Structure 1
Amino acid sequence: MKKGFYQKSYFNNENGYTLIIVILTLVVITILGLGLMGTTANSLKISSHERDNQSAYYIAEAGLVQKRAEIKEKLSSEETVNEAIKKTSLYYNSLSKSEKESFNFADYAVSLILGPDSTTTYSSDNGDFEKQFNKETKATVKSKKINSLMYKIISEGRIGTIQSRTISQVIDISNTSDNPDNPTSLSNNTVYVAGHIQLNGSAQLKNITIASPSPSKDGHTINGNLDKVKWNTPFNYKLPEFPSNQFNNFPSNSINFNSEKITLDKDVTIQNFKSNSLTIDVGSSNRSIYITNLDLSGKTIKIIGSGKLTIYINNLAPLNKNAFINSEGNKDNLQIYVENQININGNSSLSIDGSIYAYNGINTSKKLYVAGDIIIGKGDLHINGNGKDNYISSVSANGIYAPNSKIHFNGGSKTEIKSNIIVNEVIFNGNSTIEGIGDETSNENNDNINNNKNIIFRLNPHSIIENN
């Protein structure tokens, strides 16, 4: 009996059961802890990788921006640009006549300014960047020419020895000189017409010659004044590009012009322009103003300072009152770009001591005075006046450049030019008068390209893209 009792007690003995449960629990907790530690370590590794990856992008971007700023500084240096233009002029003068016809003056000058393709390194060791978590940071930036007046910046940002990202940006360089960048020899007091000529007998041509590449008057409408037309006159002209990129990248720092004077210490976007009389001080630096909508009617803008001012206008309201811009100022220091058609209505007038690029043309029924050049992209130029109320004048070999457009000289309008007009089609109607007031010499000035001395180069950056 005792033996069975003890056997039963042995099988019912629960001593040590708690220890087993504790051990199993510790095993489970240990496994979970190890798994959690592994997950955390992996997350930290991924986070560190993403952090370094993003830092590498920012370093690449910083290197690209630095290189772009250096290029812009070179192109903005008046001394550097003038020296390059001087060397380009000397080289141009050494060319043959056929070589001159295909010579790209601006592209050659920019090549001298920027030099050959180059590679620049910015690093934390040189003090350009700070180290990231004790890792060396470095941007290797390449600048290379890919086309005429087009360059590409490629920047590789690197963290340590492993993580890197590469981005690139294409930059167009536009020439906003106060004279179109064509060294073609063009005679003053001449209207160069690439296409159709419509010349009525009542049109008055005073000291003016019409030049055409056509061999004869066949295909043209000419009534009288045949002695004023020169046939078989070839000429080469390339319209400067309109800086469309600038209109898509207005600076975000907008201001309101509520006072009568403003000093520009940076490029700005204008929202409002309330004062009828405004003085803009550009100081000694080149500045730009970006305007979405502008009504110039009844306004006077005075520009002071030795720097050059470029104004970009999306939409210029029709002019219903007289407006004066930079009156008696240096015409070489003002360039205006207008995207929409310029309309000068009624008895209003527009006076600009500078140059203007009207992309979609000009329609004036009163008085238009431009001391520099008028350049038209794709619209037409309509000059509709009565008597002596319309004229385009210049104080230095400047004129009208509209090789893609028509120019309509209508009614009793009068137009004065000092250099020449380049146009696709020209129409003289009614009692219109056009008078040449320039010297009977070539704009080439004894084969020297003096008109290119005021070239201004501007950067038009494309979007930044990442290279795989």
Structure 2
Amino acid sequence: MRHKFLSTKRLNNENGMALVLVLLLIMIFSVLTLGVIGVTSSNLTLTTGERDHQSSYYIAEAGINVRMQEIQTESLEAYNQHLENPIGDSRDAIVSAISTGLNEKKDFNNGIFLTEVLGPLNDEYPLKYTIKSEGIINNRSRKLTKDITINSPENNDLAVVTDESISLRGGASINGSVATKSLNENAITLTGGSSITQNISLHPDADNEKVINVPDHYPEEWWLKVQKKSYPSLTFPIFPTYPENSENHDNIELSGNDKFKWDLNSSVTSISTISLKSNTELTIDVGNSDKKLVVSHLNIINGHILIEGTGSLKIYVIDEITMGSGSSINNDGDIDQLQLFLKASDSTTAKTLKLSGNQKIFGSFFGEDTNIDLTAGSGFQGHILTGGTSVNISGGSDNTTKLFHAPNAHFSMSGGGSVTGRIISKSFEATGGSHVIMDKIEEDSLSTIYDGSNPGDYFFNQNNLIISTTPTKEQAE
């Protein structure tokens, strides 16, 4: 009996269980702690790797930007030096100035980048280069590339710029470059021996073969003229406010070969009508200061207006400008001395400025809504800015307009009409041997009539290279 009791007592003895449980808990917590440390360490490694992966991209991008800035600086300095001392070809000067090949590694934000410039990849303008850059940090690396194109003003002088179509037929020609923002089919059409001598710039999203329609016999080399480029919107500048607080003057009406000299003593003068008939002559003396003349009706049926003095004359016409016979305004005079303005009509019918039959204007014209019609041997020498919807040049009309800014207008040329300068219009059409010859525009010559703040001023710049780049791309490993 005593033996049985002792056996039962030993079986019910729980001494030492606490120690076993503590050891078991310590083991479990140790395993969990090691697991957490392992996961944390793994996450830290992944985070560090991802950070280095991203950092290597930014380092490579910095290398691209550094080399791109160097190329821009080197090419612009070389080109400007060539303009001052034009010996040889500007292309050769630029190519010699741009540093190509492999560069030494450069430190950047605890990493390094290694850059390489390849090019030029062609023998003539536009010059094309490729920049390669590798960013390296903590044994992580990424490689990027960027293409850069340098276009010379000599090959990128825009003669015609439109929002919509450019159509040349019947031997019409454009001596210069053209550009359109249109993506429409056949937006640029050439038929019947027509030609464009320099580049054709299309919207970056344009399909070349869809937008351009030329005869099948055009050689493959012709398509090398085509390039992609973005241009600002072709908007119309703000029409100026007419001056007030003027000195009133009696009407001037001349006829029968009369000649009259008018000394403008006031800075601003108002007159209702100036009427010239029968080959009369009105000489306006502005003295040595700039003068403004507000006229309701400028009616030159048969006569001539001459300008004397060293100052300039701005004529603000309220109602109408009428030209007849062989009449002229400032004929053979300094075009920078005369600016003509014509207000919009109060009705829905736009006003028209028409020159024909050897009528001449030497000066600049700014019409708020004026349609332009230059025909039959007439001529306009100066800038023309208009918000009208129609411009027509025909019948041998010869115009050195420098800038013809008509962004709302369909611009039509026919019958041998010619323009020397630059045309900005909604659409453009030329037929019958008409031609446009690009001519350099001096921005200073626009300062008296045009404020230069309009996006159109982009097209005036003739003195800088046009440098464009593609988006940065990553090289596959």
So what's the TM-score if we normalise by structure 2?
0.48
Structure (1 or 2) with the larger CA radius of gyration = 2
So what's the TM-score if we normalise by structure 1?
0.48
